[in-house]
Amino acid sequence: MSIPSVVKNPPFNITRSSHVRYFVTDLETSLRFYTEILGLVVSDQDSDTAYLRGIEEACHHSVVLMRRRDTPAAECVGMRVASEDDLHRAQEHIIAAGGTATFVERPYQGPTLLTTFGEGTPPVELCSSMPVLPRLLNNFPAQKGGRALRLDHYQCVIPDVGATAGKFMALGFRPSKYTTHVDTGRLLSIFLTRKNNPHDLVLAQGAGPRLHHVAFIVSDLQAMFRACDIAANLGYGRHVEYGPGRHGPPNGIFTYFRDPDGNRIEFGLPPMQFMDPEDQPNVWDSTDGVSLVPWGDGPPQRWREEMTLFDGITPAGGTIARWTSQR
Ligand SMILES: [Fe+2]
């Protein structure tokens, strides 16, 4: 199995995965979950939209919750670019490559480019700046629940991992890990990064595009357990879906939660550094379960099957399961 070469001078400069926009069916209930259990803080809100950030984050938001009465969905995932000039280079490049790229107005964001990279890929908005607010890392009275520090990465499920990975690697994303099918050699998942740790964007094989999870870093195991305990106290014990457990090399202690609409949020410990160019990706095949999950059971079936839909996009490449309720 060969994967594309790393592009060291990409056409524009994506710096990291930064935010996600969700349509939620009950804004007040979702807000309670994100603030009291996960420990995000509200940067701004009006009657229909709330903007939240982790306690380490100075930029305005990493989660946007938007009220909607019918079905929940993700509108898009977000990435930061280094400058406004990068947005114009991005628009030119993405359109020339067969995608779409349109400037959109977003409150509390500088110029923002909403993009798609072709069928079967997730919608991504690129943003060059946000207002800055105080970090609350040392403001202990303001901290609640799991004290989520910052958004780290998100995982999207897509029908063709190889093709989509190629599109993002052309933008400078670098693989830290990938898995292949033991018989066919087909790429099953790949962890792609732009910042100094192993993941910004994880791509995995399945009907899509769908959003599998959004991951936040927490300070330690105690914060993770505190979020689980508060979830139980507030009636969300069965929303602690999987974990605590360990993924493998990137210091991957995890717990996965489901928010009131079924969106999956991962808590993880601070990951290892991955930035020197000679540092090569881990490569596993589909039989290497011990490396992927060294102890305990593998994930429950619903973790494998249920995911957030992107608004207005019908997944291709297989059947999908929907979140019905906590089980
Ligand atoms: Fe993850």
pLDDT tens-digit map of 163-196: 999 999 999 999 999 999 888 889 999 999 999 9
Is residue 286 pLDDT above 80, yes or no?
no
- In the chain, the number of structural domains is 1
The pLDDT score that the predictor gives to residue 69 is: 81
Rounded distance from Cα 31 to ligand 1 centre (Å): 22
Does residue 3 belong to any structural domain of this protein? no
Query: Which whole number is the average pLDDT over 199-208?
Result: 95
E strand spans, 6-139: 14-24, 41-45, 49-53, 63-67, 73-81, 100-104, 112-116, 124-127
pTM: 0.96
Residue 71 forms part of a structural domain: yes
Mean pLDDT of 35-55: 98
pLDDT at 28 over 60: yes
Distance 52 CA to ligand 1 centre (A): 20
CATH of the domain at 282: 3.10.180.10
Helix (H, G, I), strand (E, B) or coil at 30: helix
The answer to whether residue 176 sits within a structural domain is yes
Share of the chain above pLDDT 90, in %: 83
Euclidean distance between the first and the last CA atom of the chain, given in angstroms as a whole number: 39
**pLDDT tens for each residue of 221-266:** 999 999 999 999 999 999 999 999 998 766 689 999 999 999 999 9
Tell me, yes or no, whether 290 lies in a domain: yes
Omega within 30 of 0 (cis) for the link into 159 = no
The answer to whether residue 314 sits within a structural domain is no
Is 113 within a domain? yes
So what's the pLDDT on residue 326? 47
pLDDT digits (tens, 9 = 90+) for 294-311: 888 889 999 999 999 999
Which residues fall within 8 angstroms of residue 153, CB to CB, at 6 or more apart? 17, 199, 200, 201, 202, 214, 215
139: its two tokens: 């403001």
pLDDT of residue 141: 96
Residue 153, domain member (yes or no): yes
Mean pLDDT taken over the chain? 93
* CA 272 to ligand 1 center in whole angstroms: 14
Q: Evaluate if residue 80 carries a pLDDT over 60.
A: yes
- Which residues sit with Cβ closer than 5 angstroms to ligand 1, an ion? 215, 266
Q: Tell me which residue range forms the domain holding 120.
A: 14-132+146-309
User: Ligand 1 centre from 107 Cα, in Å?
Assistant: 28
- Å from CA of 20 to ligand 1 middle: 14
Task: Find the 315 Cα to ligand 1 centroid distance in Å.
Answer: 21
What is the distance in A from the centroid of ligand 1 to the CA of 14? 19
At 327, the pLDDT band (50, 70, 90 cuts) reads: very low
pLDDT at 214 over 90: yes
- The pLDDT of residue 89 is 98
Task: Look at residue 76 and tell me if it is in a domain.
Answer: yes
